[in-house]
Amino acid sequence: MTDSLPEYDWPQLQPGWVWLCGAGPGDPGLLTLHALNALRQADVVIYDALVQEGILDWAPQAEHVYAGKRGGKPSAKQRDISLKLVDLAQAGKKVLRLKGGDPFVFGRGGEEAQTLIQHDVPVRIIPGISAGIGGLAYAGIPVTHRDVNQSVTFVTGHDQTGDAPSSLDWDGIARGSQVIVIYMGMKHIARISADLIKAGRGQDEPVAVVANATTDDQQVLETTLGNVVSDLQGSELEPPAIICVGRSVQMRQVLDWQGQLNGIAPRNLDPLGRGKPAENG
């Protein structure tokens, strides 16, 4: 079963267990080996909307159950998903719960794991590459760069009710974090960009919107805080998308490696103006 996996003491998915696993942002190649090991063993895979269906082909023996829900709303439904996992485990299935990106990053993985443990169902957590890091990397944007930021803030663009999150201290974030990575931000981008500008961020600050990151449909919009709303309206970009605010976006001018694969030359070899590497040591 684990034939084509490298030599390693791979854990066995036992009946009655749930493995809560990140599927990465899209590209199936970004799965972890633990995720692949899980796919090979599961009786049932419960997957979210953001999991690329091609990944499920790697679990042909398993039943595939879609548990998608998009948008902010139904927390009751979330409870149903958690309880379904409990039922399957208690029925003696080997359960793989597969979630987009990393299960513990804006993915309610913590809630699901908690419910399972409260019901005495044993769990294993398998982290995944989160869209806010790996998705930006596929757009040629390093989430940290030593000339830009010593910290990065990951925020969600909406709260449990689907509204723009009112509990977020946008002033604090705007002042404290050179780079801001926004998940689920498309719906409320007008409000979010206005709040950031009000809190002192520049109209001309670079912004990138990366839609369907790491998939064949990846699209990237480079814009500014002042123009992001109108530029998005004039574009075809749709969620899921990651929005990155900060100067690291400029690094895409040199690091758009996917564009380079398609023969597009770098626009600027030194977008942050740090000079040749040799001069900087």
Which residues sit at the interface with ligand SAH, rule CB under 6 A?
25-26, 50, 99-102, 105-107, 130-131, 135, 183-184, 210-215, 239-242
Residue nearest to ligand SAH (CB): 101
Nearer to ligand SAH, 112 or 205 (CB): 112
Gap between the Cα atoms of 125 and 11, Å rounded: 12
The pairs formed by 164-172 with CB atoms below 8 angstroms and a separation of 24 or more are 164/188, 164/191, 164/192, 170/195, 170/196, 170/198, 170/199, 171/199, 171/200
For 274, how many CA atoms within 13 A lie in the half-sphere containing its CB? 12
**Residue (93 or 188) nearer to ligand SAH, CB:** 188
| Residue 49 CB, nearest approach to ligand SAH (Å) | 9
Task: Catalytic residue, from 48, 102, 251, 256: name it.
Answer: 48
Rounded to whole angstroms, the Cα distance separating 124 from 37 reads: 13
Residue with tokens 């930006």: 136
| Gap between the Cα atoms of 218 and 241, Å rounded | 9
Closer CB to ligand SAH, 102 or 112, in the complex: 102
Q: Is 184 a catalytic residue?
A: yes
Active-site residue 186, yes or no?
Answer: no
> Residue 52 burial (CB < 10 Å; 0-12/13-18/19+)?
buried
**Residue with Cβ nearer ligand SAH (44 or 242):** 242
Catalytic option among 93, 94, 184, 186: 184
* Cβ-based nearer residue to ligand SAH, 62 or 184: 184
Least Cα distance to 238 among 212, 208, 214 occurs for 212
Helix, coil or strand: residue 126: strand
Q: Centre a 10 Å sphere on the Cβ of residue 140 and count the other Cβ atoms it contains.
A: 21
Apex 153 CA angle, 152 and 159, nearest 5 = 165
Cβ pair 113, 21 in contact under 8 A: no
**Closest to ligand SAH by CB, 37 or 214:** 214
In the complex, least distance from residue 92 CB atom to ligand SAH, rounded to whole angstroms: 28
Token pair belonging to 96 = 């793989």
Q: How far is the CB of 26 from ligand SAH (least distance, A)?
A: 4
Is 270 catalytic? The answer is no
Annotated catalytic residue within 43, 69, 187, 195: 69
Least Å distance between CB 16 and ligand SAH? 25
Catalytic positions, written as ranges: 48, 69, 184
